[in-house]
Amino acid sequence: MKRSLLTLLVVAMPLTASAQTIYKCVDASGGTVIANSRIEKNCKAIVSGPENTLPAPKARPAGAAANPSPAGFPRVGEDTQKSRDGDRRHILEQELAGEQRNLEQAKKELAEQEAAKGGPSDRTAPYRDRVSQHERNIQAIQKELGNLK
């Protein structure tokens, strides 16, 4: 009995790598059966592997695009794209200059409010919020400028 159980376990070991779950079943005469499917209701799962029913992804050829464009899809010329990138840079630089002016104005208003009230108070909170908003805007624009080619 022990020998047949040991043989069954040795045979079932490679199945653990490919099967989802291994079950241990005890039949009516007291014999133990190991299987990769539930034979009876009283079978208990002894090994559960990760659920992996999807095949491995196929390797893409080198240089292939992740989402290739359809054959008739219009393409933008290199000069046109460079022109658009230049326009984008110019717009971002203008926005950056405007935000820097707005930040200086917000700092000036905050300083005036703090001087009038003798320091920070609840009434200066909107002015501090405005200063921090302009600082965040400047950081975001600088990040976008850094991302340009």
Domain residue extents for the chain: 2-48, 79-147
Instruction: Copy the structure tokens of residue 25.
Output: 């079943």
Look at residue 19 in the predicted model and tell me its pLDDT. 47
Amino acid identity for residue 61 in this structure: P
Give the confidence band of 140 by pLDDT, cuts at 50, 70, 90: very high
Return d(Cα 82, Cα 12) in angstroms, integer: 63
**What DSSP character marks residue 40?**
S
Instruction: Copy the structure tokens of residue 80.
Output: 């046109």
Give the confidence band of 96 by pLDDT, cuts at 50, 70, 90: very high
Give the confidence band of 134 by pLDDT, cuts at 50, 70, 90: very high
**Strand bridging mode 44-48 / 32-35:** unpaired
Write the CA distances from 139 to 35, 88, 93, 104, integer angstroms: 61, 17, 12, 15
Indicate whether 103 pLDDT > 90: yes
Interval 107-126 mean pLDDT: 84
Burial of residue 133, with CB atoms counted within 10 A of its CB: 0-12 exposed, 13-18 middle, 19 or more buried: middle
Return d(Cα 17, Cα 132) in angstroms, integer: 56
Interval 127-141 mean pLDDT: 94
Write the CA distances from 145 to 87, 90, 92, 95, 103, integer angstroms: 12, 10, 7, 11, 19
Indicate whether 89 pLDDT > 90: yes
Laid out side by side, the sheet with 21-26 consists of: 32-35, 21-26, 44-48
The pLDDT tens digits of the residues spanning 30-88 come to 788 887 877 777 788 777 665 555 666 676 666 556 677 788 888 888 999 899 999 99
Supply the mean pLDDT for the chain: 80
Regarding pTM above 0.75, the answer is no
Cα–Cα–Cα angle for 122, 102, 115, nearest 5°? 40
